[in-house]
Amino acid sequence: MNLRGIDLNLLPVFEAIYVSRNLARASAELHITPPAVSNALARLRAHFGDPLFVRAGRGVKPTSTADALIVSVREALDCLRRGLEPRTAFSPETSARVFNIAVRDAGVLLIAAEVAQRVRSAAPLVRLHYSQLERPRIGVELASGRLDLAIDTPELASAELEREPLREESFVLVMRKGHPDGRAKLTIERFQELQHIAVTSRRTGRSNIEEAARRAGFRLTPIMRFPHLMPALSVVRATDCVLAAPRAVVPQEGLLCRELPFAMQPLVLSQYWRSHAGDDPGVRWLRAIIRAAAGNL
């Protein structure tokens, strides 16, 4: 889009109408007059060649074009809000800042609930956006400011990033309660015969459990691979498949944890941020929240 062709002041009006589904409520939220909202909507309609919003009961509903636009509009406005919010002070009670956090699957399962409770209690208007990115992209996103923090393993470490260790979690073998091998002695030989599931974000290459088996001197071939832990755990609960997972993320209901018959490196999680963001009070506040949440698990 050519930004010269649109008044960027119209974008908050578009967002407000989309959220409120009512021009009068959008007017009140933006502290501008209803005619000003109507005028802004008319200009948006002319620019995009689409009604954007049509009457629905006492309000309006978005068209398919508006639905397609809202994601990009919100991303742009959130970026502006983050960039323009003063970095010399941060007031959790009143801030509406959006924090973008890159996190691995196990990491978000470990801390998300505890972090959410603490953030909602201290900063009710703050929003947290989690995403899972390929590791080569994380440093770039942190450097550009599109990410505020990353929670990852030591593989992410680099000279451009600051790092703070959060937690270590040992791996256990997870199986359903009532599994035929739930009470049997778990030797390496029997371990190899089980139906293993691997969880990895990579389409190819060894997963954590495959690499641990290689280091222990044998080969493991999982019968299923998942990118996320939750669907893998649901399969384990319903079948005789097994899964190596960090102990703290395993729900107790319907599942049994067994010690692995060989050594496996624990999951080590740290939080990362770009070096020049160390003086950002908002990022410092969120880092403290995450540190406390990880320590309280």
pLDDT digit string, tens, across residues 65-86: 999 999 888 888 877 766 666 5
pLDDT digit string, tens, across residues 127-154: 999 998 888 888 888 887 888 999 998 8
Which residues have a Cβ under 8 Å from the Cβ of 143 and sit 6 or more positions away?
160, 274
Question: For position 5, what pLDDT does the model report?
Answer: 66
Give the pair of three-digit tokens for residue 149.
């923090």
3-state helix, strand, coil in the chain (%, to 5): 45, 20, 35
Domains delineated in the chain: 3-84 (1.10.10.10), 98-168+268-295 (3.40.190.10), 171-265 (3.40.190.10)
- Of 51-60, 152-161, 184-193, least confident by mean pLDDT is 152-161
Please state the pTM of the whole predicted model.
0.67
Is 70 exceeded by the pLDDT of residue 2?
Answer: no
Residue with tokens 């978000």: 108
Cβ atoms of 107 and 269 closer than 8 Å: yes
